[in-house]
Amino acid sequence: MSDSVIGQPFTRIDGKWKVTGRAKYGVDYYFDRLVYGVGVASTIGNGRVGGIDAAEAEKMPGVLAILHHGNIEHLYHPANQFEDQSRPGESRPPFEDDRVYYYGQFVALVIAETFEQALDAASHVRVDYEAKPPVVRLDRAAQPTGEPQAHQARGDAESGFQQAPVKLDVTYVTPVETHNPMEMHATIAVWDKAKQKYTLYETSQGVVNHRNVASQVLGVPMESVEVISRFIGSGFGCKLFPWPHSWLAAIGSRHLERPVKVSVPRTLMFTTVGHRPTIEQHVRLGATQDGKLLATINEVRQSTSFIDAYLEDCVDPTSMLYSCPNVKGTQREIRMNTGTPTPMRGPGRTPSLFALESAMDELAVKLNLDPIDVRLRNYADKDEGSGKPWSSKRLREAYQMGAERFGWKRRNPKVGSMRKGDEILGWGMATMTWPGHRQEAEVHVRLLADGTARASCATQDIGTGTYTIFAEVVSDRTGIPVDKIQVVLGDTSLPPGPTSGGSFTTATVIPAIYQASDKAVNAVLKAAAKYQGFSGADPKSLKMTQGRVHPQDKPPSSGVPFQEILQSQNLVGLDGKVKTGPTDEMKKYSIHSFGAHFCEVAWDPEILRLRVSRWLSVVDGGRMMNAKTARNQILGAVVMGIGMGMLEETVYDTRTGHPINNNFADYMVAVNADVPELECIFLDYPDPVLNEYGARGIGEIGLTGCASALTMATYHATGVRIRELPIRIEKLMAGSVKEEN
Q: Which residues are catalytic?
A: 700
CA distance 661 to 667: 5
Give the DSSP letter string of 73-129: PP------BGGGTB--SS-SPTTSSSEE-STT-EEEEEEESSHHHHHHHHTT-EEEE
Q: How many CB atoms lie within 10 A of CB 173?
A: 17
Q: Which is nearer to ligand MOS, 205 or 340 (CB)?
A: 205
CA distances from 579 to 223, 457, 490, 728 (A): 20, 11, 17, 50
Identify whether the C-beta of residue 397 lies closer than 8 Å to the C-beta of residue 698. no
Segment (H or E) for 423: strand 423-435
The set of residues, in sequence order, having a beta carbon less than 8 Å from that of 242 and lying 6+ positions away, is 88, 89, 202, 204, 209, 210, 213, 214
In whole angstroms, how close is the CB of 180 to ligand MOS at the nearest point? 13
3-state secondary structure 668-710: CCCCHHHCCCEEEEECCCCCCCCCCCCECCCCCHHHCCHHHHH
CA distances from 73 to 198, 247, 569 (A): 15, 11, 55
**Residue 374, φ and ψ in degrees, nearest 5:** -60, -40
Query: CA neighbours within 13 Å on the CB side: how many for 40?
Result: 27
Identify whether the C-beta of residue 297 lies closer than 8 Å to the C-beta of residue 73. no
Q: Give the interface with ligand MOS as residue ranges (CB under 6 A).
A: 205, 235-237, 240, 343-345, 347, 501-502, 700
CA distance 430 to 713: 10
Segment (H or E) for 717: helix 706-718
Q: Which is nearer to ligand MOS, 349 or 444 (CB)?
A: 349
- Residue 280: DSSP 8-state: E
> For the CA atoms of the chain, what is the radius of gyration?
27
3-state secondary structure 37-54: EEEEECCCCCEEEEEEEC
Q: Which is nearer to ligand MOS, 501 or 636 (CB)?
A: 501
Segment (H or E) for 245: helix 244-256
In whole angstroms, how close is the CB of 699 to ligand MOS at the nearest point? 7
CA distance 739 to 736: 7
Give the DSSP letter string of 441-469: EEEEEEEETTS-EEEE-S----SSSHHHH
**Letter for the amino acid at 102?**
Y
CA distance 478 to 525: 12
**Letter for the amino acid at 342?**
T
In whole angstroms, how close is the CB of 19 to ligand MOS at the nearest point? 24
Inter-axis angle of helices 505-528 and 466-478, nearest 10: 30
In whole angstroms, how close is the CB of 439 to ligand MOS at the nearest point? 12
Q: Which is nearer to ligand MOS, 365 or 640 (CB)?
A: 640
- Quick one: how far is CA 135 from the chain centroid? 27
In whole angstroms, how close is the CB of 503 to ligand MOS at the nearest point? 7
- Quick one: how far is CA 108 from the chain centroid? 30
Nearest C-alpha neighbor of 711 from the set 223, 194, 358, 237: 358
The sign of the dihedral angle between the CA atoms of 624, 629, 632, 634 is: negative
Identify whether the C-beta of residue 296 lies closer than 8 Å to the C-beta of residue 169. no
Whether the bond into 726 is cis, omega within 30 of 0? yes
In whole angstroms, how close is the CB of 424 to ligand MOS at the nearest point? 35
Inter-axis angle of helices 627-646 and 706-718, nearest 10: 50
In whole angstroms, how close is the CB of 349 to ligand MOS at the nearest point? 10
- Quick one: how far is CA 622 from the chain centroid? 18
- In sequence order, the β-bridge partners of residue 276 are 177
Terminal-to-terminal C-alpha distance of the chain: 54
CA distance 94 to 75: 8
In whole angstroms, how close is the CB of 71 to ligand MOS at the nearest point? 35
In whole angstroms, how close is the CB of 504 to ligand MOS at the nearest point? 8
CA dihedral angle for residue 12, residue 14, residue 17, residue 19, rounded to 10 degrees: -40
The set of residues, in sequence order, having a beta carbon less than 8 Å from that of 660 and lying 6+ positions away, is 651, 652, 653, 666
- What 3-state class would DSSP assign to 284? strand
As a residue count, the chain comes to: 741
Q: Which is nearer to ligand MOS, 344 or 510 (CB)?
A: 344
